[in-house]
Structure 1
Amino acid sequence: MGIGEPALHERPVGVAPSGGVPLRAQLSAVEFALFAQFGIRHDLQANTQLFRRGDVGTSMFIVVSGAISLDFGAGLAPKQLLCNDFFGELGLLIERHPRSCDARASCDSVLLEITHANFHRLIDQDPATVVFFLRRTLARVVSSEQRLIGQLSRRNQELEAALGNLYSTHNELTNTRELVYSDDLTGLNNRRALTAYLQRSHRSGKRPQGLLLIDCDDFKGLNDVHGHLVGDQALQRLGRILNSVAGNDDIACRLGGDEFCILLAQADVDCLARVADFILEAARGWGSDPRAAAEACSVSIGMALVDEGHHWNDTYSRADKALYEAKRRGGNRAQWFVDRSSGQRRLG
C-alpha cells in the first residue's frame, strides 16, 4: 500500500498578491474543469435577463462564453463578466440570499449553473480544490462587502448582516476543512492530510526524514472478544500516544482501520528508534492499568529513514515490509527493513 508522489499544481487565477488590488472572480483551469463536470448548461440570447436585484438566489453561475453584465444600481458602474468568470456565489453559500444586482446577457452567451445539490457532489469529488476555492472566494467577497459599506452608508445594516453571515460561513468552512483532513474517531490527520503534507514538503524541498508505520497486533481478536466499542477506545488511546510524540513540523495519521503512521521532519537512526520505543512502551502500559485491561493491545512498528535518492513509494514500501516482518516475528516490536537478497539491514 503506497501513496503516490505529489505533482506540482498551477496557481489558481484570481488570487491577488498580499496587499494588492483584488483580481476578477475567475476560476482557474483546474477549477473550471472540475465545476464543468457538474454544471447545468444555459444558452442565453442577447439581452436575456438572468435575475433581478432582490430575487432570492440559490445557485452560482460560470460564464463559458459570451458576456454577462451586472448592474448594482445606486450610481455604481456595471460590471462586465467574461469567460471563466463566476458570479452569484452568495446564493450558493448563504441559503436564500437576495441577489444584489441585475444580471443580463450582453450578447449570446453560455453559462453553467452550480446548484446546492451539485456543489455537494463537487465536494465529494475533490474536497481540497473546493476548500481552496471557497477560502479565496469568501476572502474576496468579504473584502468587497467591506468596501461597499464605506461607499453606501444607507446599506450599512444590511451589509453588516451579510458580513456576519459570511464570517459564520467562513467558520463553518474552517470546520469543514478540519473534517476533510481529520480522522473522525481519533482526531489525527487522515490520508488526505498526509497527501497534502507530502505535496507541501515536495514543493518546499524539505522532505521528512523518518517514517514509522504502526499497526495494532491482533486487533480483529480484540474486536471479536470485547466488541467494536472497546476496539474504538483502543484506537483512540493509540491516537493520543502518536499525537503526543508528533512535533509541530511532524504529522501523525490514521491511514484506516488499525493502521497509523508518523512522518518526522527531523530524524536519524537513534531518533526514530527512540520514538518507536516510546510508542511500544506506552502501548504496553495499557495492560498495567486495570481500568483499561480490556483495551490492552500491543503494536508493531516498521521503521525507515527517508532517502533523498528514493521515491516516496519506495520508502513507504520498505517501512511496510519492516512492519510485516515485525508482525511475522510475533508483534509487540519495532523493526527495520531487512533486504533478504543481500542479508543487510536497510534503513532507507
Structure 2
Amino acid sequence: MKIEINTKWELIKAIFITTLVSIIFSNILVYIFETLYSPPLASSDIIGTTLISGIASLLASSIIFYQNFLVSKTKADMENVNRRLLNAQKKLRKQANTDSLTGLFNRRSYFLSMKKEISRYERQQRPFSLLLMDIDHFKKVNDSFGHSRGDVVLQKLAKILQETAREQDIVARTGGEEFSILLPEAKKEEAKVMAERIRETVSKSEMGSQEIEIQITISIGVAEILPGEDVDAIYNRADLALYRAKAKGRNCVELD
C-alpha cells in the first residue's frame, strides 16, 4: 500500500507518542507493583519487569494504532474513490444530455423533456408551446467566414436564447443551425411574444468578433400542444410553421 509522505510522518509521530505513553504507563505500573510487593524486588527484576512491560505495551499499542490507521486510511481512500465516481457519472450524464459546442440541451434530452411535458399536460391539462428556429442563410456564414466563425455565431445565439428564456424554459440545439425552446404553461400567443423578442434581439446583435462583424437573422415557427398529440406531432407542426416563415422571406415568426 502506497502511503503519502505527510501520512508517513503522521504515522511516525503517532507511534512515537504511543511508545512514550506506553513506557510511562509501564513504569507507573512497576512502581505501584514494587510499592505493594513484599519483599521488595531486586533491581534486576525491576529492570526486567519494566522492559518486558514496556515492550508488551508498545507492541499492543502499536498494533492497535496501526489497525486504526489502516481503517481510517481505507475509509478516506473509499470516500475519494466514491467522489471520483460521482464526478465521472455527472460528467458522463452532462455529456449525454448537452450539446458540446453550445452547452444547451441536445436533441435527445430535449425530446425526453417534451415527453415529460406531454405527460404532465395529459394529467393536469396545462398547456405548453414550442419555438423552432433556424439561422437564415447560415451556410453563407460558414462559406464567407469559415466554420470556426460559424461556431462562434452558434455559441452567441445560444447565449441570447438562454438569456431571453424564462427560468422554467428548456433551450436546446436540435440540429446544425436549428434551435428549439420548450415553454411550459405557455399558450401560443405568449410563445409568439417571446419569439418576436428573440428574433428582434438576434437581428440587432453583433454575432462576430472585434475583427469581423457578422449580422444574422432567424426564422421561427411556433406550435402549442393539442389533445392526443405525441412528441413528433407537435414538433412537426412547429417545423411546418418554421417552413412557412422561411417561405415568407425569413426573419419572421409564424404560428401553427
Identify whether the pair has TM-score above 0.5, normalized to the shorter chain. Answer: yes
Match of 2:102 among 183, 186, 191: 186
Contact 1:251–1:262 (Cα < 8 Å) also in 2: yes
Per the alignment, residue 311 of structure 1 pairs with 230
Query: d(CA) in 2 for partners of 1:264 and 1:296?
Result: 27
Per-residue CA deviation, residues 142-165 of structure 1 (Å, 9 max, x unaligned), is: xxxxxxxxxx95522112212111
Matched residues in 1 for 2:157 and 2:206: separation?
13
Which structure 1 residue ranges, 5 or more long, are not aligned? 1-53, 55-151, 338-348
Work out which of the two has the higher radius of gyration on C-alpha atoms and give 1 or 2.
2
Q: Is the 8 A contact 2:149 2:208 kept in 1?
A: no
CA contact (8 A) 2:111 2:231 kept: no
Q: Deviations over 1:289-324 (max 9, x none)?
A: 994863211100001111133333221111101101
**1:227 and 2:143 correspond:** no
Partners of 1:193 and 1:311 in 2: how far apart? 16
Q: Which residue of 2 aligns with 1:157?
A: 73
Q: Contact conserved, 2:127 with 2:187, CA < 8 A, in 1?
A: no
How much has 1:219 moved relative to structure 2?
Answer: 0.3
Superposition pairs of residues 252-263 of structure 1, within 5 angstroms: 252-263=171-182
Are 2:86 and 1:170 aligned?
A: yes
For 1:128, the equivalent position in structure 2 comes to: none
Q: 1:327 aligns with which of 246, 250, 255?
A: 246
Matching of residues 246-325 of structure 1 within 5 Å: 246-286=165-205, 291=210, 294-325=213-244
Task: Give the CA RMSD over aligned residues.
Answer: 2.5
Q: CA 1:293 to 1:335, structure 2 compared with 1: closer, same or farther past 3 Å?
A: farther
Alpha-carbon contact 1:286-1:293 (below 8 Å) kept: no
Contact residue 226 and residue 294 of structure 1 kept, 8 A: no
**Number of residue pairs matched?**
187
**8 A Cα contact 1:231 1:295, kept in partner:** no
CA contact (8 A) 1:230 1:295 kept: no
Give the fraction of aligned pairs with identical amino acids, expressed as a percent: 33
- The structure where helix makes up a greater share of residues is 2
For 1:22, the equivalent position in structure 2 comes to: none
Corresponding residue for 2:58?
none
Structure 2: unaligned runs, 5 residues or longer: 2-66
Query: Is residue 302–residue 321 contact of structure 1 (8 Å, CA) maintained in 2?
Result: yes
Give the letter aligned to residue 173 of structure 1: Q
Work out the CA distance in 2 between the residues paired with 1:293 and 1:214: 24
- Residue pair 1:210, 1:264 contacting (<8 A) in 2 also: yes
Aligned residues of 1:234 and 1:296 also touching (Cα < 8 A): no
Name the counterpart of 1:196: 112
CA-to-partner distance for each residue in 1:163-193, whole Å, 9 max, x for gaps? Answer: 1111122112112211111111111100121
Find the counterpart in structure 2 of residue 40 from structure 1: none
Higher relative contact order (CA 8 A, sep 6+): 2
